[in-house]
A and B are shown apart, each in its own frame.
Chain A
Amino acid sequence: MAAVIEAHNLIKKYGTTLAVDGVGFDVQAGEVFGMVGPNGAGKTTTIECLEGLRRADSGQVRILGLDPLTQREEIAERIGVQLQESNLPARLKTGEALELFGAFYDEPAATADLLERLGLSEKRAAPVSKLSGGQRQRLFIALALVNKPEIVFFDELTTGLDPQARRAMWGLVGEIRDQGCTVFLTTHSMEEAERLCDRVAILDRGRIVALDTPQGLIRSLGVENRLVFTVPAGQALPDLAGLAGVERVEVNGERVLVSGRGRRFTSTVVGALEEAELQFLDLRTEQPNLEDVFLALTGRQIRE
């Protein structure tokens, strides 16, 4: 597969602050690529350099093989962009916005289809100022899709949305990916990155500190997994401590906590419980997530 986004050694200073410090990566066609990190890590500066809205002090960017600064129009024709801080005139209506933006492109998508796809059909005649946060964000996604783009850029797509609207956004990103579109997104939500992205770059203080699949990042931690379950009184626990991968078994009344490592850890333990015909209840696994990865890599919580 060909790289549709290539960035090499991007550097951007604001005054004396180094906002982006040697960032580089390739994004393959059809991938959902996420850039995560706390506020001020350099995510927006990086994405805006890719979109051609900002000029890096040094480094190279190629989008679909083109230079975003000198071939801005050609790239703009083929990418879709949702910006973190952008707006539409308050009195513009939803349907009008899509018609208007469609007119800037060679082959716009049909407005009715886009409205339908993003659940905005009923809001067609509503002014932008009367939309809820989620509806507004869906309109901005619709604008990003109006030219049937090959790559879409989402900058902090779900920031400020309620959990329900966030989940709806995640579903939409999945649908966009399924239609063959490459997605580049930034987020400061580790959960979002884990749920949506094929690969994740963790950005901290302008540098990429890790880049891999979410699973790969978590695995690279080598952190233990935990299984927690309840065993009703009177039942004997099989010997779990001797199983492969199990490191520790703690029994606290009816609660049992098994810690261990390895990919087969969970299935090994559950298998042993099944074999012993134990009536265990409330089984759940506690796995490390990207939050733990960030903590391990930077020594800080993502939301400080």
Chain B
Amino acid sequence: MRGLRELTLTTFKLYLREPIGAFFTLAFPAMLVLLFGAIYGNEPTPLFGGRGTMDVSMPAYTALILGTVGLMSVPITTAGYREQGILRRFRSTPMRPLTYIAADVITNLTMTVLGMGVVVLLGWVLYRVRFEGQIVLVLCAVVLSGLAISSVGYLIASLAGTARMAQIIGMVLFYPMMFLSGAGMPIEVLPESIRRFSTYLPLTYVVKLLRGAWFGEPWREHWLEAVILGVILLVCGGLAARYFRWE
């Protein structure tokens, strides 16, 4: 994996220099905390098992960041780099393809954790949000979810002919998930029919898994989500590797 450290640092710098990517990862979720915090506050309600809206929004907004990164940043950047001939240039060096993907994944996960940090910090300062889990387990859930959703993003980039098409597919997948998976608003406020539909959305399982880890629920209650995300990772990752094109 020669060059991994340098490529990761470069990818990280470029991410921060791209205002739109940085906005959706760092600023947008923070704005949601301010907006929905102002609307709903964080009073404990029986709907959320005695927790407040902001309490349950912490893992949900983390899922939202994972969704924007995996379904928007990943396909747009990857397909864009291919379209512009940037991947071609990398390919004519001894660097291995896996190094490129690894640098991308590490950067995206780091950005996700940073975005999550901003959300949680704001939530804690403004609403003293509760955290009842273990940090290590939350991070494990973030990594698994990030890999699974990103693999969907890489698959989109592999199949889409152009960056524009990758962007459209990413948006078509992301927007319903943002509203219907429990990431943008708690699943409990959605009607039963939509909740049934949400079982078809990968991001729903991310929200459930992260919420479970966040509130310290035992893993045995969440193995199904972990398995589903694992299967998504294997299937989409495998297909992406099969159909990935450098040019």
- Residue in contact with A91 in the complex, picked from B2, B18, B85, B92, CB distance below 8 Å: B18
> Which A76-113 residues have a C-beta within 8 angstroms of B?
76-77, 81, 83, 85-89, 91-92, 96, 99-101, 103-105
Contact bitstring A45-64, B, C-beta under 8 A = 1, else 0: 00000010100000000000
Asked whether, in the complex, the Cβ of A73 is within 8 Å of the Cβ of B94, the reply is yes
Q: Say yes or no: is B91 at the interface (Cβ < 8 Å to chain A).
A: yes
Nearest B residue to A76 by beta-carbon distance? Answer: B94
The answer to whether residues A53 and B2 also contact, given A83-B85, A85-B85, A100-B10 and a CB cut-off of 8 A, is: no
* Interface size in chain B (residues, C-beta < 8 A): 22
Q: Say yes or no: is A143 at the interface (Cβ < 8 Å to chain B).
A: yes
Provide 6 A-B residue pairs closer than 8 Å at the C-beta atoms, listed in order of the A residue: A73-B94, A87-B85, A88-B86, A92-B10, A103-B3, A104-B95
A76-B94, A87-B84, A99-B6 given; 20 more Cβ-contact pairs under 8 Å: A53-B88, A72-B94, A73-B94, A73-B96, A76-B92, A76-B93, A83-B85, A83-B89, A85-B88, A86-B85, A86-B86, A87-B85, A89-B81, A92-B10, A96-B13, A100-B3, A100-B7, A104-B3, A104-B95, A105-B94
Chain B residues with CB under 8 Å of A81's CB are: 92
Q: Chain B at the A interface: mostly helix, strand, loop or mixed?
A: helix
The answer to whether residues A51 and B6 also contact, given A89-B14, A91-B17 and a CB cut-off of 8 A, is: no
Interface residues on A, range: 20 to 34
Complex CA gap A301/B5 in Å reads: 51
Give, as a whole number of angstroms, the nearest-CB distance from B19 to chain A: 10
Asked whether, in the complex, the Cβ of B3 is within 8 Å of the Cβ of A87, the reply is no
Tally A-B pairs: CB < 8 A.
58
Nearest B residue to A146 by beta-carbon distance? Answer: B93
Nearest B residue to A97 by beta-carbon distance? Answer: B10
Complex CA gap A51/B6 in Å reads: 24
Complex CA gap A104/B13 in Å reads: 18
Asked whether, in the complex, the Cβ of B14 is within 8 Å of the Cβ of A100, the reply is no
- What are the 5 tightest A-B residue pairs by CB atom distance, in nearest-first order? A103-B6, A86-B85, A86-B89, A76-B94, A91-B17
Complex CA gap A87/B89 in Å reads: 7
Asked whether, in the complex, the Cβ of A104 is within 8 Å of the Cβ of B88, the reply is no
Chain A residues with CB under 8 Å of B81's CB are: 89
Complex CA gap A72/B84 in Å reads: 23
Interface centre among B7, B17, B89 (most CB of A within 10 A): B89
Contact bitstring B60-88, A, C-beta under 8 A = 1, else 0: 00000000000000000000010011101
Chain B residues with CB under 8 Å of A88's CB are: 86, 89
Contact bitstring B1-42, A, C-beta under 8 A = 1, else 0: 011011100100110011000000000000000000000000
